[in-house]
């Protein structure tokens, strides 16, 4: 099993920055990629970014490219999402997730939330205009 515990988030004005963290524990050696998802109010969950094992590959949703950066600290088993130039449309509940099948970490499949095996508890991000 893999446990994911999130921290960070909160409220910020448009143009501001926030950092989300996700601490992983348990059988982290099983994990082939970590991802961030978000779910705006009354909308479906959507992929934000993913990072492969060792940080070799990353993919981003078009809506956050150039503004968000996904990274990981392997020594601390912690995943991060640096969010800059935040917009009101970034308002959502943000979740980290872990996938143990490398086939689902590709550019084609990474944003499919149903395939992920483990999830963090979620953290709210609110961006005001």
Centre a 10 Å sphere on the Cβ of residue 18 and count the other Cβ atoms it contains. 20
Alpha carbons 64 and 60: distance in angstroms, whole number: 7
pLDDT by position in tens, the chain (length 129): 999 999 999 999 999 999 999 999 999 999 999 999 999 999 999 999 999 998 889 999 999 999 999 999 999 999 999 999 999 999 999 999 999 999 999 999 999 999 999 999 999 999 999
């Amino acid at each position: 099993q893999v446990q994911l515990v999130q921290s960070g988030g909160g409220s910020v004005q448009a143009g501001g920055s926030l950092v989300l963290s996700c601490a992983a524990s348990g059988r982290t050696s099983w994990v082939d990629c970590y991802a961030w998802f978000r779910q705006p109010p009354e909308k479906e969950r959507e992929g934000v970014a993913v990072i492969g094992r060792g940080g070799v590959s990353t993919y981003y949703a078009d809506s956050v490219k150039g503004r968000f950066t996904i990274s990981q600290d392997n020594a601390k088993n912690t995943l991060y999402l640096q969010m800059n130039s935040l917009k009101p449309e970034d308002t959502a509940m943000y979740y980290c997730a872990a996938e143990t099948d490398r086939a689902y970490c590709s550019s084609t499949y990474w944003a499919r939330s149903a395939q992920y095996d483990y999830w963090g508890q979620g953290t709210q991000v609110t961006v005001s205009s």
